[in-house]
């Protein structure tokens, strides 16, 4: 509202004032860690009764379904940072059980960087952007982080996992995830068992290459969130098996790792993975802010039958989460719809900012005679929560147990377990990260630390980053476990994204047959050409173009099908197709070539191009191409 045609604005313009002041208050504090994330709704279905170990209601009978909400996140970057940062992927699952909310928090690595919660703020400060410059964003490739690593050697184990391919996942749909911390299962007889949880994706565990992760970070910072949303929209619901590893209480001291140490994994080969159910993510969020930004996970949210062990980091986590959630969401955050339990719940809280639940009772304390002692905590005999009477002993000290102090055996086992290609990528990642560290002493200190894991690896990294070869040698451990290598996880063509590079005058039947077969095998296709609109085959078939060579990128595709064809600007078309092929080839991805695309592969090289499937004189082309897509990468390609 203005005075006259050309202003000034009037102070009485209350509508503007209200709209603008409201807009200026739209942001809330982002999460101090895990600010960047995405998720979805789904169901968890129990495979078999776990009654023998836990009385948790959602694990009592085969076929029992429980609604869940999941949020995946990175750790270091801010809310607007890129999805493909080299980092851990954390994963909160809220089970809306009939006994209240159970929050299972997991990470796509089985070990934690700190053994002592006091170190968490230190570690995060070192990991965060430099306090003076405010960068780098969503990256550990800087002096402070590596200075921390070199001077806090317990961190080396998780750092090895972050530097491995696990640090740059292909998709949230393809990550494995561990509770890391040790919990207790408690059955209805009051018997407890140590338990750790693991999620395993049915599509297998797969990663990007470092080069891809870095480029995609610029091309499509929303790569993982888009991937998850698109898969659910297309009905290709991500599925994950939940398994438990169980250790009887009487075996607490049986292993050569301390069962309470979160910087050590429990090898599946020694403590078997026991599947207990499957989660299917089948509904996208309706509102990113209301659901994903306001969801609050807390490891302290457990249900009867699940309890806490003495794991010192877990104990600290029980305090850390709620405190920060009060800060970012306010006193009544548990009543926000996404955080509300589905079962009836009551407590004596009636006040606090943004109280919108209107309780009509007159008594908000316990014990009372005016309301028959209600509301009160449900007594254990009526299904209420009762803590397992854990044994505690010793004196209150600020120190770590001697049994936590082997920092190198398990990182060495992890190293031994990786396939040569995984080791190669890990060396590249270490060389990149440490290569960006300016302080030479920090670089040297880190190779002096890495030598404990593997001498040859540390020497190669030292060479790449221009410091002295480390003296000393790695710990003499030869153990390896297949379960720690990603190459042993399942492979599938389903939901892989194929780019169809196509112009006009393609062979109609040839292309439509291949497209139908890709579709039937659950492979997602993007039709890519010079312009949006349609391309037309020699016989008149029209195909709708999804992207142009400019609006998508070979980095966003898992495989390409080179159909080729005619274009108004043939030279540009050919060079764009050649570029897509070059990038796909360099990244070891499957390439299918139609009869009209033969000029893009050199006849003399044809037979040597591993993973490049030509349709020339090849009646099995479609099947071979689909199976190449299922293989995903051709590491042996020269």
Contacts by 355-363 with C-beta closer than 8 Å and gap 24+? 355/331, 356/332, 357/332
Cα separation, 455 vs 472, whole angstroms:
8
Give the interface size with ligand HEM as a residue count (CB under 6 A): 31
The closest of 146, 394, 409 to 261, measured between CA atoms, is: 409
Q: Select from 42, 77, 92, 564 the one that contacts ligand HEM (CB under 6 A).
A: 92
> DSSP character for 369?
S
The residues in 359-378 that bind ligand HEM, with binding defined as CB under 6 A, are none
The closest of 213, 105, 221, 226 to 162, measured between CA atoms, is: 213
Q: Select from 28, 32, 342, 616 the one that contacts ligand HEM (CB under 6 A).
A: 32
What's the first-to-final CA gap in the chain, in angstroms?
68
Only segment of 32-40, 364-372, 393-401, 515-523 that touches ligand HEM (CB under 6 A): 32-40
Assigned token pair, 293: 């930004």
CA 155 to chain centre: 20
Per-residue mark of binding to ligand HEM, 275-304 (x: CB under 6 A): ---------------------xx-------
The closest of 405, 313, 365, 380 to 114, measured between CA atoms, is: 313
CB of 72 to ligand HEM, least distance (A): 7
The residues in 244-263 that bind ligand HEM, with binding defined as CB under 6 A, are 262
Only segment of 15-23, 114-122, 281-289, 468-476 that touches ligand HEM (CB under 6 A): 114-122
CB of 577 to ligand HEM, least distance (A): 41
User: By CB under 6 A, is residue 243 in contact with ligand HEM?
Assistant: no
Cα separation, 110 vs 264, whole angstroms:
7
Pick the closer one to ligand HEM by CB: 50 or 320. 320
Pick the closer one to ligand HEM by CB: 295 or 502. 295
Pick the closer one to ligand HEM by CB: 33 or 285. 33
User: By CB under 6 A, is residue 181 in contact with ligand HEM?
Assistant: yes
3-state secondary structure (DSSP) of residue 192: strand
Cα separation, 510 vs 524, whole angstroms:
18
User: By CB under 6 A, is residue 316 in contact with ligand HEM?
Assistant: yes
User: By CB under 6 A, is residue 31 in contact with ligand HEM?
Assistant: yes
User: By CB under 6 A, is residue 199 in contact with ligand HEM?
Assistant: no
Only segment of 104-112, 133-141, 186-194, 574-582 that touches ligand HEM (CB under 6 A): 104-112
User: By CB under 6 A, is residue 547 in contact with ligand HEM?
Assistant: no
Contacts by 247-254 with C-beta closer than 8 Å and gap 24+? 247/193, 247/194, 247/195, 247/271, 248/193, 248/194, 249/192, 249/193, 249/194, 252/194
Buried b (16+ CB within 10 A) or exposed e, 342-360: eeeeeeeeeeeeeeeeeee
Cα separation, 488 vs 628, whole angstroms:
17
CB of 295 to ligand HEM, least distance (A): 6
CB of 222 to ligand HEM, least distance (A): 16
Only segment of 86-94, 276-284, 356-364, 515-523 that touches ligand HEM (CB under 6 A): 86-94
> DSSP character for 51?
T
Pick the closer one to ligand HEM by CB: 120 or 491. 120
Kindly give, in sequence order, each residue whose CB lies less than 8 Å from that of residue 553, ignoring residues fewer than 6 positions away.
215, 219, 220, 583
User: By CB under 6 A, is residue 107 in contact with ligand HEM?
Assistant: yes
User: By CB under 6 A, is residue 90 in contact with ligand HEM?
Assistant: yes
CB of 96 to ligand HEM, least distance (A): 16
Pick the closer one to ligand HEM by CB: 410 or 448. 410
CB of 39 to ligand HEM, least distance (A): 7
Q: Select from 71, 166, 278, 589 the one that contacts ligand HEM (CB under 6 A).
A: 71
CB of 329 to ligand HEM, least distance (A): 8
Kindly give, in sequence order, each residue whose CB lies less than 8 Å from that of residue 281, ignoring residues fewer than 6 positions away.
40, 41, 42, 70, 228, 232, 237, 238, 239
Pairing of strands 542-545, 547-548: unpaired
Only segment of 90-98, 125-133, 231-239, 349-357 that touches ligand HEM (CB under 6 A): 90-98
Q: Select from 91, 95, 240, 561 the one that contacts ligand HEM (CB under 6 A).
A: 91
Tell me how far CA of residue 153 lies from CA of 86, 160, 254, 272, 425, in angstroms. 20, 12, 25, 29, 22
Kindly give, in sequence order, each residue whose CB lies less than 8 Å from that of residue 137, ignoring residues fewer than 6 positions away.
77, 78, 81, 129
Tell me how far CA of residue 491 lies from CA of 322, 487, 540, 629, in angstroms. 39, 9, 37, 9
- DSSP symbols for 542-560: EEEE-EETTTS-GGG-SEE
Q: Select from 66, 84, 155, 179 the one that contacts ligand HEM (CB under 6 A).
A: 179
521, 242 contact by CB (below 8 A): no
Tell me how far CA of residue 206 lies from CA of 167, 189, 275, 592, in angstroms. 11, 41, 21, 21
Pick the closer one to ligand HEM by CB: 404 or 524. 404
Beta bridge partners of 566: 504
CB of 66 to ligand HEM, least distance (A): 18
Pick the closer one to ligand HEM by CB: 121 or 275. 121
User: By CB under 6 A, is residue 106 in contact with ligand HEM?
Assistant: yes
Only segment of 110-118, 236-244, 372-380, 404-412 that touches ligand HEM (CB under 6 A): 110-118
Phi then psi dihedrals of residue 20, to 5 deg: -70, -45
User: By CB under 6 A, is residue 324 in contact with ligand HEM?
Assistant: yes
User: By CB under 6 A, is residue 320 in contact with ligand HEM?
Assistant: yes
User: By CB under 6 A, is residue 615 in contact with ligand HEM?
Assistant: no
612, 633 contact by CB (below 8 A): no
The residues in 117-176 that bind ligand HEM, with binding defined as CB under 6 A, are 117, 120
User: By CB under 6 A, is residue 313 in contact with ligand HEM?
Assistant: yes
Only segment of 312-320, 379-387, 559-567, 609-617 that touches ligand HEM (CB under 6 A): 312-320
208, 216 contact by CB (below 8 A): yes
CB of 308 to ligand HEM, least distance (A): 13
Binding site for ligand HEM (CB under 6 A): 31-34, 37, 71, 73, 90-92, 105-107, 112, 114, 117, 120, 179-181, 262, 296-297, 313, 316-317, 320-321, 324-325, 328
């Amino acid at each position: 509202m203005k005075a006259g045609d050309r202003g000034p604005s009037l102070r009485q313009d209350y509508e503007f004032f209200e709209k603008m002041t409201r807009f200026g208050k739209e942001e809330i504090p982002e999460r101090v860690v895990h600010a960047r994330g995405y998720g979805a709704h789904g169901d968890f279905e129990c495979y078999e009764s776990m009654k023998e170990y836990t009385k948790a209601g959602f694990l009592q009978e085969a076929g029992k379904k429980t609604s869940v909400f999941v949020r995946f996140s990175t750790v270091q970057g801010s809310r607007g940072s890129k999805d493909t940062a080299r980092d851990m992927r954390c994963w909160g699952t809220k089970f809306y059980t009939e006994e209240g909310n159970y929050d299972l928090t997991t990470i796509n690595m089985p070990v934690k960087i700190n053994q002592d919660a006091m170190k968490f703020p230190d570690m995060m400060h070192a990991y965060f952007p430099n306090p003076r410059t405010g960068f780098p964003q969503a990256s550990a490739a800087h002096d402070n982080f590596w200075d921390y690593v070199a001077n806090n050697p317990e961190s080396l184990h998780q750092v090895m996992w972050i530097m491995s391919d696990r640090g740059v996942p292909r998709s949230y749909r393809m990550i494995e995830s561990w509770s890391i911390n040790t919990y207790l299962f408690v059955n209805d007889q009051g018997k407890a068992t140590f338990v750790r949880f693991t999620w395993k994706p049915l599509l297998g565990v797969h990663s990007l290459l470092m080069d891809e992760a870095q480029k995609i970070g610029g091309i499509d910072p929303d790569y993982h969130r888009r991937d998850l949303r698109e898969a659910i929209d297309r009905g290709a619901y991500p599925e994950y098996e939940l398994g438990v590893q169980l250790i009887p209480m009487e075996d607490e001291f049986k292993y050569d790792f301390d069962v309470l140490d979160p910087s050590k994994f429990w090898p599946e080969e020694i403590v078997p993975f026991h599947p207990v159910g499957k989660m299917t993510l089948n509904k996208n969020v309706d509102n990113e802010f209301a659901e994903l930004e306001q969801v609050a996970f807390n490891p302290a949210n457990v249900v009867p039958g699940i309890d806490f062990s003495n794991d010192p980091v877990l104990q600290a986590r029980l305090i850390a989460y709620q405190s920060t959630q009060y800060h970012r969401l306010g006193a009544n955050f548990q009543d926000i719809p996404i955080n509300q339990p589905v079962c009836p719940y009551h407590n004596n809280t009636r006040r606090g900012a943004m109280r919108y639940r209107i309780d009509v009772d007159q008594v908000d304390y316990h014990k009372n005679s005016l309301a028959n002692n209600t509301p009160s905590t449900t007594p254990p005999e009526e299904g209420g929560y009762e803590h397992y009477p854990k044994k505690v002993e010793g004196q209150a000290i600020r120190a770590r147990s001697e049994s936590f102090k082997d920092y190198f055996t398990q990182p060495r086992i992890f190293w031994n377990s990786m396939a040569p290609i995984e080791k190669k990528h890990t060396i590249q990642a270490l060389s990149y990260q440490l290569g960006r560290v300016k302080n030479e002493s920090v670089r040297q200190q880190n190779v002096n630390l890495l030598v404990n894991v593997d001498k040859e690896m540390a020497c190669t990294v030292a060479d790449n980053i221009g410091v002295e070869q480390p003296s000393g040698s790695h710990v003499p451990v030869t153990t390896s476990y297949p379960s720690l290598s990603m190459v042993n996880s399942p492979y599938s063509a389903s939901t892989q994204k194929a780019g169809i590079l196509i112009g006009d005058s393609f062979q109609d039947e040839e292309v439509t047959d291949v497209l139908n077969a890709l579709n039937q095998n659950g492979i997602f296709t993007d039709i890519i050409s010079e312009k949006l609109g349609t391309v037309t085959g020699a016989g008149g078939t029209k195909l709708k173009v999804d992207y142009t060579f400019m609006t998508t990128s070979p980095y966003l595709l898992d495989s390409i099908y080179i159909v080729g064809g005619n274009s108004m600007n043939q030279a540009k078309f050919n060079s764009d197709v050649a570029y897509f092929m070059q990038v796909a080839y360099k990244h070891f991805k499957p390439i299918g070539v139609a009869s009209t695309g033969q000029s893009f592969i050199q006849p003399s090289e044809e037979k040597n191009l591993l993973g490049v499937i030509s349709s020339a004189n090849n009646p099995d082309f479609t099947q071979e191409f689909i199976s190449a897509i299922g293989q995903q990468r051709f590491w042996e390609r020269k």
